[in-house]
């Protein structure tokens, strides 16, 4: 059975006015309900592609469809209801004096009743675990808090798809993991399609259904994390790296001849594979069966 495509961009080409060819023949599609990441080195075209997908930049080649409709035929209002964009820098997104005013802005613009506006403000702040920030001044918030509040402002429009440009950039390791878990929850519990550009390569195998690798404005490869990270040549070509745990085990396989099945991408998977190699009588304490951590694609099987 074919699934609905939330986003379908075909043959996208884009050149900036001063001559940089930022995108070339890009095909990019995301099914409704998927969690998809763009992974690429700096200057590869992630932000440009995101801007094309939300209609902020008009491609000189190709078409973009949102839920089957050509983006050129959608009004900005209809587009905003379907796709929410979270910019990399929250300062570019936040503009009101207080958190409540900022998050209420979009729903008020839709002409909703004040009761509905307040409900949406509460719900969206709660969903980004920022309810306690409601009455705070925007300019007093930390960077991580600003990120979550700017997401709440977008969620208050109840978009079916959320597109985020480097949502984890500038966050500390705990904030990075919290942001990825939050996006995972929005995806799993609310069914929101998530598309993000990111450099969080160590966390992606836990959350992403599929990964697009871009290089110099082209798609080098797309697929689930195990398919992406087993292609070492492509990873090198794209100037990317393996998740650290995968790099360690790959090195142990190559250099030390350790016979590990497959290439574990997460700590949970690596632990499972390494335990398989250790004779049972060498293990003092039996390993718990739960929490052996599979990649997202494996856990879906």
Ligand X SMILES: Nc1ncnc2c1ncn2[C@@H]1O[C@H](COP(=O)(O)OP(=O)(O)OP(=O)(O)O)[C@@H](O)[C@H]1O
Query: Which residues neighbour 74 within 8 Å (Cβ) at sequence distance 6 or greater?
Result: 55, 66, 82
Smallest distance from the beta carbon of 47 to ligand X, in angstroms? 3
Q: Which does residue 65 touch among ligand X, Mg ion, none (CB within 5 to 8 A, set by kind)?
A: none
61-66 and 5-15: which strand pairing? antiparallel
According to DSSP, residue 288 is labeled P
48/266 with CB nearer ligand X:
48
Residue 150 contacts Mg ion per CB under 5 A? no
Q: Which does residue 180 touch among ligand X, Mg ion, none (CB within 5 to 8 A, set by kind)?
A: none
Let me know: does 221 contact 234? Beta carbons within 8 Å: yes
Strand, helix or coil at 138?
helix
Residue 198 contacts Mg ion per CB under 5 A? no
Restricted to residues 221-280, the positions that interact with Mg ion (CB under 5 A) are none
Q: Which does residue 43 touch among Mg ion, ligand X, none (CB within 5 to 8 A, set by kind)?
A: ligand X
Residue 47 contacts Mg ion per CB under 5 A? yes
Residues forming contacts to ligand X in the complex (CB under 6 A) are: 16, 18, 20, 22, 40, 42-48
Smallest distance from the beta carbon of 5 to Mg ion, in angstroms? 24
- Report how far apart, in Å, the C-alpha atoms of 67 and of each of 14, 34, 49, 95 are: 22, 13, 17, 30
Smallest distance from the beta carbon of 30 to ligand X, in angstroms? 18
Rounded to 5°, angle at Cα 179 from 235 and 137: 135
Part in contact with Mg ion (CB under 5 A); list of ranges 43-51, 200-208, 217-225, 228-236: 43-51
Let me know: does 240 contact 40? Beta carbons within 8 Å: yes
Smallest distance from the beta carbon of 40 to ligand X, in angstroms? 5
Smallest distance from the beta carbon of 114 to ligand X, in angstroms? 39
Task: For residue 118, give both structure tokens.
Answer: 């307040």
**Block residue for tokens 């939330």:** 6
Cβ atoms within 10 A of the Cβ of 23, count?
Answer: 28
Give the footprint of Mg ion on this chain (CB under 5 A): 46-47
């Amino acid at each position: 059975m074919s699934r609905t495509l939330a986003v379908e961009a075909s043959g996208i080409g884009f050149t900036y006015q001063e001559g940089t060819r930022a995108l070339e023949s890009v095909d990019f599609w995301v099914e409704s309900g998927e969690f998809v990441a763009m992974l690429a080195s700096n200057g590869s075209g992630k932000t440009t592609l995101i801007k094309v997908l939300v209609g902020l930049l008009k491609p000189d080649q190709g078409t973009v469809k949102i839920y089957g409709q050509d983006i050129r035929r959608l009004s900005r209002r209809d587009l905003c209801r379907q796709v929410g964009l979270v910019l990399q820098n929250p300062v570019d997104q936040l503009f009101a004096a207080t958190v409540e005013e900022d998050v209420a802005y979009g729903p008020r613009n839709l002409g909703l009743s004040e009761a509905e506006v307040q409900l949406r403000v509460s719900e969206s702040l709660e969903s980004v675990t920022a309810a306690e920030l409601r009455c705070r001044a925007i300019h007093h918030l930390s960077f991580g808090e600003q990120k979550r509040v700017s997401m709440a402002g977008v969620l208050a429009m109840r978009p079916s798809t959320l597109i985020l440009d480097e949502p984890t950039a500038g966050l500390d390791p705990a904030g990075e993991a919290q942001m990825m878990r939050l996006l995972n929850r929005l995806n799993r519990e609310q069914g929101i399609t998530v598309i993000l550009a990111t450099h969080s390569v160590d966390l992606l195998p836990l959350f992403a259904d599929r990964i697009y690798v871009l290089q110099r404005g082209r798609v080098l490869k797309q697929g689930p994390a195990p398919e992406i990270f087993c292609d070492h040549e492509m990873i090198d070509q794209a100037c990317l790296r393996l998740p650290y745990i995968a790099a360690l085990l790959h090195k142990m396989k190559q250099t030390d001849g350790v016979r590990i099945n497959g290439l574990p991408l997460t700590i949970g998977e690596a632990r499972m594979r390494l335990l398989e190699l250790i004779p049972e009588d060498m293990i003092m304490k039996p390993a718990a069966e739960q929490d052996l951590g599979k990649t997202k694609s494996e856990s879906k099987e």
